[in-house]
Amino acid sequence: MSKEVCCLVLGVTLSVAGVGARAADPFPKAPEHDLVVRVCSGCHVPEVVTAKTHTAEEWDDIIAKMVDHGAQANDAQQEQILAYLVRFYGKPAGS
């Protein structure tokens, strides 16, 4: 096989592998998982959520802002989302 064909095959293989990696679910499994995926992934990629940690108060403010921008979650669902985000992506207050 020529060098050009090898590079092309390698490039396509890496591209396909990268697509598969992005499609993987980055959210930890928990009872609130499906709710978080539905509400939070509706407008942006999951990495926007998983990239940073926030305090409970910061997450609460972020959730309120997302609902103001059109995220569909009632008050009880917002509390479930908050609990999930604090559990997996929370940081202590004052950090």
**pLDDT tens digits, one per residue of 69-85:** 999 999 999 999 999 99
What is the Cα Rg of the chain in Å? 18
How many angstroms separate the CA atoms of 46 and 8, rounded? 30
Is 56's pLDDT higher than 70? yes
Backbone angles phi, psi at 90, to 5 degrees: -95, 160
Q: What is the DSSP letter of 28?
A: P
How many angstroms separate the Cα of 73 from the Cα of each of 8, 35, 40?
46, 9, 10
pLDDT for 3-48, tens place per residue? 443 333 334 333 444 444 446 889 999 999 999 999 999 888 999 9
Does the predicted TM-score (pTM) go above 0.85? no
**Domain annotation for the chain: domains and CATH numbers:** 27-89 (1.10.760.10)
More confident residue, 61 or 94: 61
What is the residue type of 55? T
